[in-house]
Chains A and B, each alone.
Chain A
Amino acid sequence: MNELIKHAKELLEKGEVAAVIGYRQVSEKRTKPVIITEPEETRALVFNEYCLNNLAVYLTKARIKLLGRKNNKSFKLAITAKPCDVHSIVALIQENQIDRDKIHIISFNCHGVVKDFGFDFNGDNLSSKCITCETHKPLYYDKLLGEVKETPQARDSALERIKEIERMPHNERFEFFRSEFDKCIKCYACRAVCPLCYCQRCITDKTIPCWIETSSHQRGNFAWNVIRAFHLSGRCTGCGECDRVCPADIPLSLINRKMTIEANNLFSFVSGRSLETPTLVGSFNEKDNDELFM
């Protein structure tokens, strides 16, 4: 921990970065994001199993990007990121939303996080993304901290659930999604926490023409959730934030994970894993699988 604080403090003191986006502890089993611009404030920084937020979401916000303007310092931002959050950063770099050289990535050897605040860290309460995680060491970083620890073993119940839904007959599957989407209250928290939902103007905010009904009845809810799933397919890095924050407990990560599996099966592509391969939707190859065209 001291290493993290020391490093962040140094960055700010030397003026290398305008701000450090990190976590601070608010209670024993909860942290929250904090945006630090003063070197002394870095003492609040922590990193542990309760650092759930994917802070990459802040990197595309104009007000954060421009923090450097005020004090005439560097426009560079430092971010503390779990290895899985680095995937989101990679995806954002690839989609030309941020510059690699404007981001200083402080990452960690990660052994998993809890599924939500307030839980004890063990195999039963492991976040589902951590169960299948293969990147305990970040793929890209400017500073690597933390020691290597064993990840608790857990069962991949999410995948089992996806298989179960796949096996359902059509009408039953529709009924399943209908009942899940019925709960949606259209607070758009899923959109707000998603690092890849960075559109300045979301399609739901467009009124001329109005593509998606803003009412949270069945039609409007289906339109929103299905369109969001499609806009994220081949782009979602699987951070699971939408699922965690949904106040109605809609299992959004099941949908996103299914789309990720499909994209991987069809094009052998998983978003945010490499700075060298072009994005899936941004590239075309004659040999691309065309099975999904009808």
Chain B
Amino acid sequence: MDEKIISRVDLMKICKDVIDKGNTLLTPGAADYYVVKDISDIILDTSALPSKISHKSYVFPRTEPVLYYKRSKNDVQLIDINIDSKKIVILGAKPCDANSINIMKHLFNWDHSDEFFNKRANNFMVIGLMCSHFDEYCFCTSVRSSPVSEKGSDLFLIPVDINNYALKIITEKGKEFISPYSGYLKPGDEKNSKLITENVRQPEAAFDSSEVYEWLGENFESPKWEGVGNLCLSCAQCAFVCSVCHCFDITDEDYSYTEGRRMKNWDGCQFGNFTLHASGHNPRDIQSKRYRQRVNHKFRYYVDRFGEILCTGCGRCSRGCPVSIDIKEIVSNCNDNQKEFLK
């Protein structure tokens, strides 16, 4: 791995160049990842809280057309979508967020490849930034990640002093991106950056994901699900702010008498009608079953299928939950029968 030093000023020059070339530059804000218009807006704060909503919508939009149709007397004409595939550079992604596209890639590419996802994902250039924040909801260290994890980043930034960053070049894509700007780079000192990353405060691992995996396999019918099922209000806040939740709905909408489009929209497994059959039968008819599905999908099913945990430990879902249901608390208490409040 190659490591360089870049000053903040030079980094901003690169950012400006990215914007000037017509590419999209994303950076995390308090509420959402936003498109940078002016480089003076860029904060690059390692101690910031993860934004309320993840950057998922830039690779998997909350709503997008998958085809257009035009009805005439008997016939229907179908028009393919031209996927807008602008290059997106994401600057200062939290290590938890940086890995999300990699995790989702498995799902969107097994068996059938989803070109909508892939085209966007391939155009993503992730510049990760070490994280020095953690609060009661963070648990990246429990899901095979950490505040200094480079997983998913093409380039990774570590602030070495107030004006300079150590820049690690992780992937070929990152190397390609940075090569035109090699004039800005100075040789790096791996020892120094290693010392910094080793001293970053890390959230203590709250649970062992393989133990959770085992527990879920054996406790599908556990009475514990009922407690959390009673509490959960069936919104999709958790799924929609999540950086790896990927379920969607397909629906048609007409915009004139003869024309319309087929939309792919975010959908959430906590909604009661998510699995509702037309006949009225519903396999996950009560909230406890739906919550069980959510936890199982993240910590068991996805591991079975793709070998990865469908969770980055960012804690967004818990931080924003209307009734403060904390997924970390739930999975870390699952094995403990003394904890009566799995609620």
Contact = CB atoms under 8 A, between A and B. Distances in A.
In the complex, A touching B, CB below 8 Å?
yes
Interface of A: 24, 26-27, 30-35, 38, 41, 44, 53, 57, 61, 63-64, 67, 117, 183, 185-189, 191-193, 205, 213-217, 220, 241, 244-245, 247-249
A26 B326 CA distance: 10
Given A187-B239, A187-B268, A192-B233, A41 B340 contact: yes
A31 B266 CA distance: 30
Given A53-B323, A187-B237, 18 more contacts: A24-B341, A32-B324, A41-B340, A63-B230, A67-B230, A186-B240, A187-B239, A187-B240, A187-B268, A189-B233, A189-B237, A192-B322, A193-B235, A193-B323, A214-B251, A214-B265, A244-B322, A247-B53
Contact of A191 (B53, B235, B273, B323): B235
Contact of A33 (B265, B272, B287, B323): B323
A248 B31 contact: yes
Contact of B251 (A24, A183, A215): A215
Contacts of A61: 230
Given A35-B231, A193-B322, A247 B237 contact: yes
Interface of B: 31-32, 52-53, 57, 62-63, 136, 227, 229-231, 233-237, 239-241, 249, 251, 253, 263, 265-266, 268, 271-273, 286-287, 320, 322-326, 329, 340-341, 343
A61 B234 CA distance: 11
B62 A185 contact: yes
A31 B325 CA distance: 10
Nearest to B276: A205
B314 to A, nearest CB: 13
A249 B30 CA distance: 11
Nearest to A54: B322
A63 B286 contact: yes
* Interface pairs A-B: 9 shortest CB-CB: A32-B324, A192-B235, A192-B233, A215-B63, A245-B322, A189-B235, A189-B237, A187-B240, A187-B236
Contacts of A245: 237, 320, 322
Dominant secondary structure at the B interface: loop
A189 B32 CA distance: 17
Contacts of B239: 187
17 contacts: A26-B326, A32-B325, A32-B326, A38-B340, A63-B229, A185-B53, A185-B62, A186-B62, A186-B265, A192-B233, A193-B235, A213-B253, A214-B249, A215-B263, A216-B62, A220-B63, A249-B52
Contacts of A216: 62-63, 265-266
**Most chain-B Cβ atoms within 10 A of its Cβ — which of A213, A215, A245?**
A215
B49 to A, nearest CB: 10
Contacts of A217: 63
A57 B233 contact: yes
A290 to B, nearest CB: 36
Contact of A249 (B31, B272, B287, B326): B31
A186 B193 CA distance: 42
Contacts of A41: 340-341
A191 to B, nearest CB: 7
A61 B229 CA distance: 11
A213 B252 CA distance: 9
A39 to B, nearest CB: 12
With a 10 A CB-CB cut-off, give which of A187, A205, A214 has the most chain B CB atoms. A187
A43 to B, nearest CB: 11
Contacts of B234: 192
A140 B236 CA distance: 33
B322 A189 contact: yes
Nearest to A217: B63
Contacts of B266: 185-186, 216
